[in-house]
Amino acid sequence: MIRGGTGLAVRGLRDFSAWGKRHPTMLNVAAGTVLGGTGDVLAQVLEGAEHIDAKRTACVCAWYGPAALFFWTPYMNLAERLYGSSGMKSVVCKAVSYNIAMATVDITGFHIVSLTPQVGFEKAVTTLKEGYSETVVAGLSLWGPAMTLIFWKVPVHLRMSTSYALDVVWASTMSYLSQRKKKQVEAEAANQVEATLASVATSDIPKASVIVSEIVCTLPQLQKHSGG
C-alpha cells in the first residue's frame, strides 16, 4: 500500500509538472497568490494574532499575484534569454540579477501595494524606509544561496513556484523577528514604568521625573512597533 501511494504521488507530481510546463504563467500566478497568502496567515499566527486579518492577507495576495504575472514571469523569461540555460556562469548571473530585483522592485512593491490599503501611502513609505536595510540584508542571506540552488537544479517552469514555497519560510521568519523586536521594545517600556512607580513610592521625585521623560521619548517607538 505504501509503495502504491508513493507511486500515485510521483505520478501526481509528474502530471503537475507537465501542466506547469504547458501553463507556466498560470502556475506562477496561482503559486504566488496561494503561497503568498499562506505565508501571511502563518506570519499572523506567529505574531500572536487572536484572529486572522483577512484584509491584510488579501492585500498581500494583491501584490503576489499581479507581481507574478507582470514582473516575475517576464523577468524569468528574460533572464533565460540573457544568461543562457546552462553553466555555472549562467546560474550566478541569474541569482545575482534576481536578488537585485528582489532588493529593489519586490521589497518596494510589496510594502507599497500591501500596506497602503491598510495604513495609507505615507506610512507605507515610512515603514519601507525604516526597515529597508534590515529587510534587504535578511533577504540576501536567504535568497542568495536559495536562488543559486534553484537556478542550478530546478526546471525552468518550476523555479518561481519553488521560490514562492520558500517565501512562506521567509514571511514567517520576518514576522518572528519583527515580533521579537516588538516584545523587546514593550519590555523596555514596561521596565521603565516599573522604575518610575518605584521612584514615586520612595519619593525620589527628581529621578521619577527623569524616567517619565524617558518613557515619553520611547512612546513613539513603541507605537511604531505595535502597529499604532
Please check whether residue 30 lies inside any domain of the structure.
Answer: yes
Does residue 206 lie in a domain region? no
Q: What percent of the chain has pLDDT over 90?
A: 41
In a domain, 216, yes or no: no
Through-space distance between the first and last CA atoms of the chain, rounded to whole angstroms: 54
Please check the confidence at residue 160 and state whether its pLDDT lies above 90. yes
Residue 59 in domain: yes
Number of domains in the chain: 1
The pLDDT, as a whole number, for residue 101 is 95
Mean model confidence pLDDT for the chain: 82
Residue 104 lies inside a defined structural domain of this protein: yes
The pLDDT score that the predictor gives to residue 9 is 76
Is residue 217, in this structure, part of any structural domain at all? no
Mean pLDDT of 185-191: 69
**Could you report the per-residue pLDDT of 164-178, keeping only the tens digit for each?**
998 888 777 766 665
Q: What is the pLDDT of residue 200?
A: 62
pLDDT for residue 202 is more than 90: no
Answer whether residue 32 shows pLDDT above 70. yes
Domain that holds residue 47: 2-179
Q: Is the pTM of this model over 0.75?
A: no
Q: What is the 3-state secondary structure (H, E, C) of the chain?
A: CHHHHHHHHHHHHHHHHHHHHHCHHHHHHHHHHHHHHHHHHHHHHHCCCCCCCHHHHHHHHHHHHHHHHHHHHHHHHHHHHHHCCCCHHHHHHHHHHHHHHHHHHHHHHHHHHHHHHHHCHHHHHHHHHHHHHHHHHHHHHHHHHHHHHHHHHCCHHHHHHHHHHHHHHHHHHHHHHHHHHHHHHHHHHHHHHHHHHHHHHCCCHHHHHHHHHHHHHHHHHHHHHCCC
What is the predicted pLDDT for the residue at 196?
Answer: 66
pLDDT tens readout for residues 53-67:
899 899 989 999 999
Q: Which of 67-76, 131-140, 175-184 has the highest mean pLDDT?
A: 67-76
pLDDT at position 227: 53
What whole-number percentage of the chain has pLDDT above 70? Answer: 76
Task: Flag whether 75 is in a domain.
Answer: yes
Confidence grade of residue 73 (pLDDT, cut at 50, 70, 90):
very high
Is 227 within the bounds of a domain? no
Give residue 176's pLDDT. Answer: 65
Residue 184 pLDDT grade (very low, low, confident, very high; cuts 50, 70, 90): low
Q: Tell me the pLDDT band of 19, cut-offs 50, 70 and 90.
A: confident
Q: What is the pLDDT of residue 89?
A: 94
